[in-house]
Structure 1
């Protein structure tokens, strides 16, 4: 464990160097500097259409917690463009919040730093037990065989959202089930200032999610069985090229999407500029952006051929948000009480319904709110055709390195530069060279 942790510290340093321009600089009110046991600091991830939307969702629940416990929670909603670097800075400086949200794909990387409170049996008992949570959500909470580094908060999956009117106007009668069908549909829709598919070419995490799923469809995992980077395999190269080719070759993604990183593709979709978008649990965001529920539909994300499902085709990563506690908080008891509150059956229904996500708590999933058009496809995907990203200590560095490679390839496509198997492999080889050496 000690050697893993030492390697992880080096990995964290590399990740910070790679993404220093996006670094938010950490928190001035860290968990280790809390003056009062009656106050907690909480970094929440940006789940809604904006930071302000998140504050409106979360603040009433935090006030409810304060009324029940007497503990005030100071909230900061951190944009996704800053979140990982803020967390990494906090793990090295010791100046972080008491509680924070983390993308579930980062669990193993942050676990390896040793900065997060382990969720052993004793800590799980404090929040009602580990068996309250669904198995797929627990599978993205840290390295297999170790106590989880975090607790599931929101479960999500990718799906294909489509504009019903734009489909009807183009004579398209059903959503595409395969990538070939998506491109064929896209060519019918694109033109006159309208585009078929939205993307976030500068969003590193989203890039990773998309190419990981395509990698699974091409038989690649990006890591070997023993956790070593494997970015230049034939399947990995094919996956990245297929994704970027949606802009470079197939012309169904607008070149301007190469610069998108903060929900701009969702805004284009809501305004009728784009007919489709691949996204995690987007329904609540569409509502916030002024769309009516009958204006859009949702279908499983495309696969190479056939129907997605167990043993057939992966069409989503196991997406989600976990809650973690910084080990150096001076209020472990208050922090675990807050995690218990946020993962209670009642709060899980309130929060996940607000965000259009799926509760990772079994009892909360039975609520009718999670069996609607917006959520039924997501539940089915999580149950049958989603795969967890590799839970390896270097996962966050993988997101930075390969996510940046995909970003650069989108920039090439937008500028009219050729995107070839050779240029893709060259970018991925460079990304692999940036990974920490053991």
Structure 2
């Protein structure tokens, strides 16, 4: 799931969804009584700079699918601020699409509703089999040991993007590889009210992405092996404090970032008010802000040693978008054909090129179109130094309650209130108390 994803809903909403057994979505040929549906409904996530931009990218491909199969796809591009609530409502109302995109971090939570089609061996066989997909992308498709709830569609990872001119003006000749280096160069860059690195303190999902990665670097997973919330471990507390301390202690993030929501740090970066951002799929999003490709550089996100890898050297969550089918679709055959089309090599190259992401399909990923410097960093990160967010049913509540705790701590930092190990632990303890008891 991308940085710009809005916050997911809380435990109460999800608990309602967990009572559902499926969705009665799906459409017929328009008469309401056709036994051979010729129409599919598709909820696409907003991947581009606007909903309208997504429609322009997707509609020609859907027209191609209709020409090949005779099945018309009714497209709705759903903003991220609405998508999860729309999906959860559909699981209880029975009024949902046939096929939909989901943020990959939601896979286990939505799997628990029982509304999504399990991708067992038979269903996977209809789209070419499990082995077509990159292993890291498959790691965010549902609870380990169960049939996946979705299949990968677009793959992304975080990297560090930097403004070349701001670095040159500050006499910095290379991007930081470690957090210590980032803090050092950050103090040279954070002048005249500018941020050395942007954060989006009001963006709960982005907060989670960053503190999860820092958690891995501090030896914390936020959940125990048996799926219990573990938000107050020393590693989890250290991770959250390190992130908030970019503002509170290091003073390399401007206080206004505490309230930033979706895309606001990106706007500052493009306008030269922020020197660095941790971001995904930059090419299209930076260009949409008027930033040319020669104005920014890219490097792997920082790790303690400077050498990305597994464990303490993890520098990204496995970000991306999955595609799923509602179990109760009245056009299962058509839905499977559509997923097969969207995950086919040709469409993978077309769509991931358009969105600046990396194909999760092995054969498509090898195309030269995905070998440029930025995408090469993303591809290498996914292959060697990214970790999937916890694949537990309560993941969406985790995003909400811990993301909110981080937001509140940034508010403290912006207001000049102390951010201490004790205050961080207290916020995380409060978040843990809001999780379902096991």
TM-score (norm 2): 0.91
Whole-angstrom CA distance in 2 between matches of 1:367 and 1:87:
33
TM-aligned CA deviation for residue 93 of structure 1: 2.4
The answer as to 2:311 corresponding to 1:318 is: no
Whole-angstrom CA distance in 1 between matches of 2:255 and 2:71:
49
2:291: which partner in 1? 291
Q: How does 1:316-355 map to 2 (within 5 A)?
A: 316-355=316-355
Whole-angstrom CA distance in 1 between matches of 2:383 and 2:303:
16
Give the 3 Å change call, closer, same or farther, for CA 283–13 of structure 1 in structure 2: closer
2:302: which partner in 1? 302
Q: How does 1:27-426 map to 2 (within 5 A)?
A: 32=25, 34-36=27-29, 37-310=37-310, 313-426=313-426
Give the 3 Å change call, closer, same or farther, for CA 410–15 of structure 1 in structure 2: farther
Whole-angstrom CA distance in 1 between matches of 2:9 and 2:281:
29
1:2-58 Cα deviation digits (max 9, x unpaired)? xxxxxxxxx98724289xxxxxxxxxxx86262432222211112122222222221
Whole-angstrom CA distance in 1 between matches of 2:96 and 2:9:
15
**Secondary structure at the residue paired with 2:102?**
strand
1:67-118 Cα deviation digits (max 9, x unpaired)? 2222222222222222222222222222221111111111111111101000
Whole-angstrom CA distance in 2 between matches of 1:254 and 1:77:
34
Whole-angstrom CA distance in 2 between matches of 1:33 and 1:336:
13
TM-aligned CA deviation for residue 273 of structure 1: 1.4
Between stretches 266-275 and 204-213, larger displacement belongs to 266-275
The total of aligned residue pairs comes to 418
1:4: which partner in 2? none
The answer as to 2:7 corresponding to 1:14 is: no
Contact 1:15/1:400 (<8 A) preserved: no
**After the TM superposition, which segments of 4 or more aligned residues of structure 1 sit over 3 Å from their partners?**
none
TM-score (norm 1): 0.91
1:283-305 Cα deviation digits (max 9, x unpaired)? 22112222211111110001122
Whole-angstrom CA distance in 1 between matches of 2:52 and 2:255:
29
Contact 1:356/1:374 (<8 A) preserved: no
Between stretches 226-235 and 30-39, larger displacement belongs to 30-39
Contact 2:405/2:431 (<8 A) preserved: yes
TM-aligned CA deviation for residue 265 of structure 1: 1.1
Give the 3 Å change call, closer, same or farther, for CA 350–33 of structure 1 in structure 2: closer
- Structure 2: tracts of 5 or more residues without a match: 1-7, 16-22, 30-36
Contact 1:31/1:41 (<8 A) preserved: no
